[in-house]
């Protein structure tokens, strides 16, 4: 189990990315976690408070988007998402999936932040579109 | 704010550097992963010894939480061996490999073996720049190990079923084991080895030579 060290690296990457910005508060961090990443959601959530303590991210929430394994099935001519990771066969035709297209992800997608000096939320994770300013505006 | 950044990006970049160095040096780097006690060190002891007898130039790095017992066992082969003490870290990372290669002339090596920390979860996501990842599962562990640790077994290029000399005593169900491995990692090469009797080692050495040749051709 190394969810704590994963949590620490998320904190350090996010802190680096926020350098130079006037951040009042980080509301949440969105991660994308593939079913083959070897990372489990519960322990990661469990570690989050500890890893963020005393940092810019203290008090933020962790939002995890899970990505199922997707294989390319040649016989079906299709990309198929799998239900779990107990079998890599195509659920339609039973052919073993040799090409895995998705499921290894382990990435920070976005940060939902409140900047100092204004109340506007800045972020793309929540689809909070009315608060997003147009580019260059 | 959008970030789109791999959490293990630093490790991935260092691993890519290592892979380029290994490729340029013409050596095959092999990362051995398994649960504690599945037989990584025993397999390597015999591998180092026998490859050296056939004139191959081999070296090993051994990850261990606290001790240097495995490194001492491997050094008996006469090959250069270095211990990587992880001090509680449950897996090896690319920067640990880089630091422990200092002073070795990679151009003088044919194979570099890396024994990872005994753990079937954490090492899965950490690329060490290896050309070949070998997951070892012993007959004493139960045939469903691959189903329990799919991320690790799915990341393997080769699966070695070890301690095959104990198969009968453990009532090892070979068909179930092969089926489970293939369910998780279709197309993977499977070996059945005993580091006690030497069973399966001819196939193992053949595989290593073949992969090394393929890597050399890809480089050329
Ligand atoms: N019978 C038999 N015993 C083996 C074989 N390989 C390893 N063992 C025994 O299994 C035990 C563990 O073997 P190691 O090689 O130390 O296992 P390991 O995977 O390196 O262990 P850690 O480094 O602690 O994770 C030792 O007592 C070995 O003698 C084998 O092929 N047959
Ligand atoms: Mg060992
Ligand atoms: Zn199909």
In this prediction the ipTM stands at 0.85
- Can you give the pTM of this predicted structure? 0.91
**CATH code where residue B138 lies:** 3.40.50.300
Question: With bands split at pLDDT 50, 70 and 90, how would you rate the model's confidence at A127?
Answer: very low
Identify whether the C-beta of residue B12 lies closer than 8 Å to the C-beta of residue B165. Answer: no
Helices B201-219 and B9-25 cross at an angle (nearest 10°) of 90
Q: Which two tokens stand for residue A103?
A: 């499921």
Which domain, by its residues, includes B49? 2-219
State chain A's mean pLDDT as an integer.
87
CATH number among 3.40.50.720, 3.20.20.70, 3.20.10.10, 3.30.2320.50, domain A1-67+105-137? 3.30.2320.50
- Cβ(B36) to ligand 1 under 6 A? yes
C-beta of residue B141 within 8 angstroms of C-beta of residue A20: no
Cβ count within 10 A of residue B43: 26
Q: Which helix (H) or strand (E) holds B61?
A: strand B58-64
Q: Do B184 and A88 touch (CB under 8 A)?
A: yes
pLDDT of residue A123: 52
Query: A66-105 in b/e burial notation, b at 16+ Cβ within 10 A?
Result: ebebbbebeeeeeebebeebebbbbeeeebebeebebbbb
Distances from the Cα of B218 to the Cαs of B24, B131, B213, in angstroms? 11, 12, 9
Mean pLDDT of A107-121: 81
pLDDT at B89: 85
Give, as residue ranges, everything with CB less than 5 Å from ion ligand 3: A 73, 75-76, 90, 92-93, 95
Which residue of chain A comes nearest to B89, CA vs CA? Answer: A2
HSE toward the beta carbon, residue B55, CA cutoff 13 A: 0
Eight-state DSSP code of residue B141: G
User: How far, in Å, is the centroid of ligand 3 from the Cα of B132?
Assistant: 28
The total of structural domains in chain B comes to 1
Burial of B207 (0-12, 13-18, 19+ CB in 10 A): middle
CB atoms B6 and A106 under 8 Å: yes
User: Does A130 score more than 60 pLDDT?
Assistant: no
Of A81, A78, A58, whose CA–CA distance to A7 is shortest?
A: A58
Domain spans in chain A, listed from the N-terminal domain onward: 1-67+105-137, 69-102
Instruction: Give chain B's residues under pLDDT 70.
Output: none
DSSP per residue over chain A, as a string? --HHHHHHHHHHHHHHHHTTS-EEEEEEEEEEEETTS---HHHHHHHHHHHHTTSTTTT-EEEEEEE--EEEETTTTEEEE-S-SS--B-TTT--B--EEEES--EEEEEEEEEETTS--EE-SSS--GGGSPPTT-
What pLDDT, on a 0 to 100 scale, did the predictor assign at position A116? 81
Choose among A77, A97, A78: nearest CA to A36.
Answer: A97
How many CB atoms are located within 10 Å of the residue B50 CB?
17
Return the pLDDT at B87. Answer: 85
Cα separation values, B189 from A59, B9, B185, Å = 47, 29, 9
What's residue A106's pLDDT? 96
B 170-189 near A (Cβ less than 8 A): 182-187
């Amino acid at each position: 189990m190394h969810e704590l060290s994963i949590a620490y690296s998320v904190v350090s990457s996010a802190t680096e990315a926020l350098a130079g910005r006037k951040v009042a508060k980080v509301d949440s961090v969105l991660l994308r976690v593939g079913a083959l990443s070897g990372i489990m959601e519960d322990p990661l959530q469990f570690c989050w408070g500890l890893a963020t303590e005393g940092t810019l991210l203290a008090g933020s929430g962790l939002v995890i988007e899970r990505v199922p394994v997707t294989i390319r099935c040649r016989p079906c001519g299709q990309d198929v998402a799998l239900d779990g990771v107990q079998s890599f066969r195509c659920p339609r035709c039973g052919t073993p999936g040799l090409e895995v297209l998705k499921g290894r992800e382990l990435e920070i997608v976005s940060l939902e932040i409140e900047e100092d000096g204004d109340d506007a939320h800045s972020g793309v994770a929540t689809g909070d579109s009315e608060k997003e300013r147009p580019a260059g505006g | 704010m959008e970030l789109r950044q791999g959490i293990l990006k630093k490790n991935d970049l260092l691993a890519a550097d290592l892979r380029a160095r290994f490729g340029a040096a013409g050596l095959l780097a092999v990362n051995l992963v398994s649960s504690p006690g599945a037989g990584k060190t025993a397999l390597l002891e015999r591998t180092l010894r026998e490859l050296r007898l056939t004139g191959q130039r081999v070296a090993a790095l051994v990850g261990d939480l606290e001790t240097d017992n495995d490194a001492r066992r491997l050094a008996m082969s006469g090959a250069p061996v270095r211990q990587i003490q992880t001090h509680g870290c449950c897996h090896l990372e690319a920067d640990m490999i880089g630091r422990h290669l200092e002073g070795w002339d990679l151009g003088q090596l044919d194979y570099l073996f890396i024994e990872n920390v005994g753990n079937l979860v954490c090492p899965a996501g950490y690329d060490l720049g290896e050309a070949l990842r070998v997951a070892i599962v012993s007959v004493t562990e139960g045939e469903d190990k691959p189903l329990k640790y799919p991320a690790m077994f799915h990341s393997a290029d080769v699966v070695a079923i070890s301690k095959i000399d104990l198969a009968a005593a453990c009532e090892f169900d070979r068909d179930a084991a092969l089926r489970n491995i293939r369910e998780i990692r279709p197309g993977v090469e499977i070996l059945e080895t005993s580091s006690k009797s030497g069973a399966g080692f001819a196939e193992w050495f053949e595989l290593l030579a073949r992969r090394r040749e393929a890597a050399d051709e890809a480089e050329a």
